[in-house]
A and B are shown apart, each in its own frame.
Chain A
Amino acid sequence: MNAPVPLDTFDAAVLKDTRFTVPGMRCAGCIAKIERGLADLPGVVSARVNFSSKRVAVRHDTSLGEQALVEAIAAIGFEAQAVADNPLARDDKETRTLLRALAVAGFGMMNIMLLSVSVWSGAGGVTRDLFHWLSALIAIPVVAYAGRPFFASAAMALRHRRTNMDVPISIGVLLAVALSIYETATGGEHAYFDGAVMLLFFLLAGRALDATMRDKTRAGIGALLSRMGRSATVLDADGTSRTVSAQDLEPGMLMLVPAGEALAADGVVEEGASTLDNSMLTGESAAQGVAAGETVYAGAINLGNPLNVRVTAAASDTALAEIARLMDEAGQSRSQYVRIADRASRLYAPAVHSLALLAFIGWMLAGAGVYQSLVIAIAVLIITCPCAMGLAVPAAQVVASGALAKRGLLVKDGSALERLAEVDLALFDKTGTLTLGEPVPRLDHLSPDQAGVALALARNSRHPLSRGISGALERQGVVAAPVEHIREQGGRGVVGVLGGVEVALERPESETATLSTSLRIGDAGVIIAFADPVRSDAQEVVRVLAQDGIESRIVSGDRAASVEGVARDLDVAWQAQLLPDDKLALLEGLKSAGHRPLMIGDGINDGPALAAAHASIAPGSASDVSQQAADAVFLGKALMPVSLAVGVARRTMRIVRQNFAFAILYNVVALPIALAGMVTPLIAALAMSLSSLVVVGNSLRLARAAQ
C-alpha cells in the first residue's frame, strides 16, 4: 500500500532495473525515506525496498546512472552500493521446495485426520472402507510429492553405500503406505495413512526451519558484501579509459586508481604519490606512503591522490588471491565437522532398522504369520521414526539465531552455533575488531575559529582523516568558516584562503608515532592527533568471556607498540606483527594442542585464520573475504554480540541435549508398546504430535536467551 505510484511518462523501452544494497536500513522510517526520496527523483519510475535483504530495487530511466542514484541515496542519508548480482548465489530454491512440500503435507494431514477421527470413534463396515479409500486417495499423491526431499536424500545415501536419517524415514513411510493400501483393499481394520503423512509433516517442518534460518542470514550478510574494488579503470595506450572487472585485468595494463578506491590488482606505481591504507591486508593501522616505482597490492585502499599503477599480477595471481587459497585450505578441516543431528542419526538409523528387523523375526519365531509380523515391524518403524529427533536441533537453533539476530549478530547456520558453543579460547584481531577501525580526531584543544577553518577544509576532501574531522565537527555543531579557493594538493593536503591568509590542513612536518594532521592558519600550526579507540564494551566482553572459562588474547598484524597499549588496557596476552601465515600457523598449533579457538577478525589478512579457527566471528565492517569465512557477523559499534553469541550458543546446546533426552525417553516408552504389537494408528498419531510439541515448546524458551 506504500508502494510508489508508477509514472506512465517514461517509455518502457528505455527503463532499467538496478538493485542497490543499503546495509544501514533499520526501521520503517528508513523504508519510507528511501522509497519516497527516490521516487521524487526525476528519472526514477519506482523504488521498492526489500527490508529483509536490505536492498532497494530501482526502476529508472537509462539516462540516470548508477552513480547518480548512489549519490541520491547518500543525500537521503544512507550508504548504498549497486549490486550486479548477489555475491552469495541466491539459492533459496531448497527452502521453497521444502515449504511447498510442507504445505502439501499439512493439507494431506488435516484431511486424512478428519476422516481418521471418524474411524477411531467407531465408524465401521462400508463407511470405514469408504474413509480408508478416501484417505488413500489423498495420501498417495501427498506422500509422492511431500516425501521427495527424503526419498532423494535416502537414495543418494544408499547409492554411496551409506545410511542417514532419511533412510529409515523413507522406508517407514513407504512401507506404512503400502501396508495401508493392502489393508484398505482387503477391508482391514487399521490404515496408517495418517501416521505416514503426519511423520512427513513434522520432519518437513524441521527441515524448513533449518533452511529458512540459513536463507535469512545469507540475505543479511549478502547486503554487507561487495563493497570492495571488483573493477578498475584501465587507461589504454591511446589515452581512452574503460572499466574492466577484476578478473579480466591482465599484467601490463595501466590502472587509474582514484582516491578512496581499493586496488583491484597487484602492481607497480608508475605515476603519482599517495598514501595507502593496508589495514585490511596486513592489520597495520598507520597509512603507508607510496611513490613511483613502489609495489602495491590488491585490496589496499588509496587514501590520497590518484595513482597510475602498472598491473604486475591480476586475478588469481595477486597476494589477495594467495590469501584466498590459504583460506580454502584452512576451511577444509571445518567442513569435516559433523553436526550433532548427524552424529545422533549415525547411531539412530542402524538401531531402528535392527529393532524393526528383530521385531519381525521375533514375532515370526513366536508363531505370528508373515502379515502380523510385518504390521508390527512397520509399527516399530513408524513410532520410533524421529519426529522429535528431526525437530530437536533445528527448532532450538532457529529460535536462538532469531534471538541473536535481534541483538545484531547474524549466525550463518546451525553448525556455527554448535561450534561456537565449544570454544575455549578467544583470539581477537586489533584494528577494526577490538577497535572501531576508523580514526577519531581529538579536537578539544581547537579554538572555535580553528574549528571553523578545519571544518571548511576537511569537508572538501575525501581523505579518511578529513572525513573523520568533518564528521566530528559537524556533530559538535561547528559552523564552517568562509574559506575560499579550496583545493586538494597532491600528497600535501587541503589548502584554501581565509581573509587573505593561507590556511591548510596538511601532513605534519615531523613524522609522529600516532596518526595526525596539522592545521595551519598563516604561520601558526596546530596538530590534530587521531586515535582509533577501543570499542567501549571491549573490557566487559573480555570479562564475560573469562566468566565462561574462555581466555582472550590479541593476535594482530599491527606494530607491537600499538598492540601493547590495547592489550595492557584489557589485561590480556598479545602477539603482534603476525602475517596471515603466522596467524594460520598459530591457530593450527592451538588446535593440535587440543584447544578450540574462536577467532574474531575483520581484515583480509585474518581470512585464513577465520577459516581455520574452530569458530569465527567478523564485524559487519569487515572485508568481504572475512565475512564469507566467518561463521557469524555482528553489526554495530558494540563488541558485546561476541560474548553474547558464545553464551547463547551454549544455552542452545543445553536445550538441544534436553530435546534429545526427551526424544530418547519417548522412544524408550513407546518402543515396548510397538514391539508388543499394540500400536494402533490413534496411538501413533498421538505419540508423534505430543513428542513434537514438547520439543518445540522447550526450544521456544530460547527466545529470550539473548536478552
Chain B
Amino acid sequence: MSGLAFLIPIALGMGLLGLAGFFWAMRKGQFEDLDGAAQRILIDDEEEDEQ
C-alpha cells in the first residue's frame, strides 16, 4: 500500500510529461509537414551543407 503512494504519482507524472510533450510539439509545428518529414530523410547531405 505504501508503494502506491509514490508509484501512482510517478505513473501520472510520466503521463503528464508525455501530454506536455505532445502539446509542445504541436505548438512548435512538428506536425505541419508530415509528408515532407518523411521525404527529407532521403536527401543526401552535400559537402558544403554538412552541419
Binding site for B on A (CB under 8 A): 1-2, 5, 27-29, 31-32, 36, 49-53, 96, 99-100, 103-104, 107, 110-111, 114-115, 127, 130, 134, 138
Contacts and interface: CB of A to CB of B under 8 A. Distances in A.
Interface string B1-31: 1001000100110011011001100100001
A31 B43 contact: yes
B32 A2 contact: no
Contacts, number: 63
Most A-side CB within 10 Å, residue of B8, B18, B36: B36
Contact of B8 (A28, A32, A52, A134): A134
A52 B43 contact: no
B33 A53 contact: yes
A114 B11 contact: yes
Q: Which 8 A-B pairs have the closest CB atoms?
A: A51-B36, A28-B42, A28-B39, A32-B43, A52-B35, A50-B33, A107-B19, A52-B33
Contact of A100 (B8, B23, B41, B46): B23
Interface of B: 1, 4, 8, 11-12, 15-16, 18-19, 22-23, 26, 31-36, 39-46, 49, 51
Contact of B40 (A31, A100, A127): A31
Contacts of A114: 11
Contact of B39 (A51, A103, A115): A51
A532 B42 CA distance: 38
A28 B19 contact: no
9 contacts: A1-B51, A2-B43, A2-B45, A5-B49, A5-B51, A36-B49, A53-B33, A107-B18, A138-B12
Contacts of B31: 99
B26 A99 contact: yes
A395 to B, nearest CB: 18
Given A28-B39, A103-B22, A103-B23, 15 more contacts: A2-B40, A2-B49, A28-B41, A31-B40, A51-B36, A52-B32, A52-B33, A53-B33, A99-B26, A100-B23, A107-B15, A111-B15, A127-B1, A134-B8, A138-B12
Please classify the interface of chain A as helix (H, G, I), strand (E, B), loop, or mixed, using the class held by over half of its residues. helix
A110 B22 contact: no
Nearest to B1: A127
A28 B1 CA distance: 55
A115 B4 CA distance: 11
A134 B15 CA distance: 14
Nearest to B22: A103
Given A28-B39, A52-B34, A52-B35, A36 B11 contact: no
Contacts of A138: 12
A5 B46 CA distance: 13
A27 B12 CA distance: 42
A111 B19 CA distance: 12
Contact of B26 (A28, A51, A96, A111): A96
Contacts of A127: 1, 4
A100 B51 CA distance: 34
